[in-house]
């Protein structure tokens, strides 16, 4: 794997420069919220260069749209995208007719997300916040979407518990994660072990379609869907 190929996974995993020698352990190093925000502010300018981040190609957009539509209820529905980054998924879902809120720590990521929503003409709303405790009203969402964020949180069990509390009855928690070839990330088995005690109705589907990633992949990538 080339340096460029590995960059997406390491940075998606959250913390290339913050891993501090722990790459390969599959565990994130505990860092402060300010350090995390600063790290992601620095990634914002080039973040969308990766196919699955920017969704610039029609093939990638269609692949993510189809995958998400297959696990979400029909629009309109209230969706929050936690750790929304540059807003690619949030805007994609808003274009599909969902009412979408995006929350992220990084002001630079949110600037890009806001510009993307404006360019797309969607009414997506974005705000700065810590997804470990999103400060949203309980039972106010039909869907909580989180892509490439959960594994790197300090206390994913507590975060998932809070996210589950945001769901209306019958709502869905949709977590996209992976254990990337770099050794960072989280296995589906481990994430299921976190989610199942909180929402027992949960299933995982592998995401192997190369259209999602802009290239063939040989590591573990998946979506976990839990239905409250
Ligand atoms: C790998 S990026 C994923 C962005 C987006 N979910 C996507 O898939 O395109 C991780 C994002 O999570 C955000 N993030 C990390 N920890 C966070 C936290 N505790 N609270 C809010 N956002 C966080 C970062 O600022 C960054 O935008």
Peptide bond into 213 cis (omega under 30): no
pLDDT at residue 17 in the model? 34
The 10s digit of each residue's pLDDT in 90-144 is: 999 999 999 999 999 999 999 999 999 999 999 999 999 999 999 999 999 999 9
**The two three-digit tokens of residue 221, written as one number:** 């990538």
40 closest CA partner among 133, 115, 120, 148? 148
> Could you name the CATH architecture of 34-227?
3-Layer(aba) Sandwich (3.40)
- Specify which residues 174 forms β-bridges with: 145, 225
d(CA 18, CA 175): 23
Chain-centroid distance of CA 32 in Å reads 20
Q: How far is the CA of 138 from the centre of ligand 1 (A)?
A: 22
pLDDT at residue 30 in the model? 64
Mutate to test the pocket of ligand 1, among 8, 28, 85, 92 (most ligand atoms within 8 A of CB): 85
Q: How many residues does the structure list for the chain? A: 228
**Which of 18-27, 48-57, 138-147, 157-166 is predicted with the least confidence, judged by mean pLDDT?**
18-27
Mutate to test the pocket of ligand 1, among 88, 92, 105 (most ligand atoms within 8 A of CB): 105
The reported pTM is 0.90
The contacts of residue 61 (CB under 8 Å, 6+ apart) are 55, 92
């Amino acid at each position: 794997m080339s340096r460029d190929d590995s960059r997406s996974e390491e940075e998606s995993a959250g913390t290339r420069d913050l891993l501090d020698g722990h790459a390969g352990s599959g565990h994130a190093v505990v860092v402060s919220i300010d350090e995390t925000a600063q790290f992601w502010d620095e990634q914002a300018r080039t973040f969308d260069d990766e196919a699955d981040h920017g969704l610039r190609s029609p093939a990638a957009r269609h692949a993510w749209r189809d995958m998400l539509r297959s696990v979400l209820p029909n629009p309109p529905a209230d969706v929050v995208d936690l750790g929304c980054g540059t807003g690619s998924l949030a805007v994609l879902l808003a274009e599909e007719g969902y009412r979408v809120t995006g929350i992220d720590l990084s002001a630079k990521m949110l600037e890009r997300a806001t510009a993307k929503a404006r360019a797309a003409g969607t009414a997506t709303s974005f705000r700065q916040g810590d997804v470990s405790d999103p400060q949203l009203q309980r039972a106010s969402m039909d869907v909580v979407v989180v892509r490439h964020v959960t594994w790197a949180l300090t206390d994913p069990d507590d975060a998932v518990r809070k996210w589950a509390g945001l769901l209306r009855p019958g709502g869905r928690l949709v977590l996209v994660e992976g254990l990337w070839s770099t050794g960072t990330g989280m296995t589906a088995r481990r994430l299921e072990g976190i989610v199942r005690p909180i929402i027992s109705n949960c299933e995982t589907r592998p995401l192997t379609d190369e259209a999602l990633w802009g290239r063939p992949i040989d590591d573990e990538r998946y979506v976990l869907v839990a239905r409250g």
